[in-house]
Amino acid sequence: MPDLLDTPAARDWVDDAILRHTKGIFGKLVPAVIWSDTRGDDGELLLPVDPIELVARINSTPHILLHNHDPGRPKGQVLESANFESEGGKKFIAAVLGFYAGGEVLDFQGLGLDTKSLAPPPDRLPMLPDGVWIEFAMDPREVDAAWLDQVTSDAPLRIERTELSHNAADSPQELIRIGLVYLAVVWSPFITSIASEAGKDTYAAIHGWVRKLLERLADRRNPVLDIHTHQDGCQVSFLFRGKDVRQHYAAHGARRTT
């Protein structure tokens, strides 16, 4: 819907937003409409999300653009967004997209990173924050409700479900994203210095639940599990592809030292 970007207020905002990001790391900046109140033949919104919440989430947390919704193939970010209404009364969200390398998929192998180097695990971990939860996100067209209910029923923390929308009639994979605090991801049974015994039990319960989830991936068609977290302002993902449980166990154990 590029005509919506001709709305004067949206056009002015896009021009200013692009200027704000011209000195960033992105090779290409593109304006786009990422949501509108367009409805289908059944009268329901094509993208059933709250536009105010969506804008707030995008503007507060990095929103990564992926090639074919694959977290291992990042293309850029949604840098900034805002709500508008066209002269005809249509509500929409305008955004500025920043693409790496002019829009090409980012190739981590070409960045010269030493992916085989090991980092020591932390010596001590604090208590997990009060009210911490696990985000479980997937597209309901790819992952059935019965399986979802099964894998979340015994979670050690409160589960917040998020519906992803991949807008694909036949996705090549089933993306399942688990949002965890970074401390829970790096915890190891060998870390004994934790603020309290109850805290240690919580870390261990999360660890055990994730391990059980890796087993349950064997029930899926072509799963990609993205354990999704943030640390020091960076988004960090630990990816588990396919249904090989033994391989997943090995990767789950190695994630604490990489």
CA distances from 210 to 78, 179, 190, 194, 207 (A): 29, 11, 17, 20, 5
Tokens linked to 253: 């154990």
pLDDT of residue 204: 87
140 shares a domain with 103: no
Q: Is residue 119 part of a domain?
A: no
**Same domain flag for 192 and 232:** yes
Same domain, 146 and 228: yes
Query: Are residues 176 and 250 both part of a single domain?
Result: yes
Work out how many domains the chain is built from and give that number.
Answer: 2
- CA 84/CA 238 separation, integer angstroms: 36
Q: What is the mean pLDDT of the chain?
A: 83
pLDDT at 103: 53
Distance CA 257, CA 105 (A): 27
Instruction: Give tens-digit pLDDT for 86-107.
Output: 998 999 999 999 998 655 555 5
- Based on the fold, state whether residues 237 and 209 are members of the same structural domain: yes
118 within some domain = no
User: Is 116 contained in some domain?
Assistant: no
Average pLDDT over residues 117-130: 72
pLDDT of 168 over the 60 cut: no
In which domain, by residue range, is 18 found? 2-110
- Please report the pLDDT score of residue 170 as a whole number: 59
Length of the chain in terms of residues written? 258
- Please indicate, yes or no, whether residues 248 and 209 belong to a single structural domain of this protein: yes
Query: Which H helix or E strand runs over 239?
Result: strand 234-241
**Tens digits of residue pLDDT in 221-239:** 889 999 988 877 777 888 8
What is d(CA 198, CA 77) in angstroms, rounded to the nearest whole number? 38
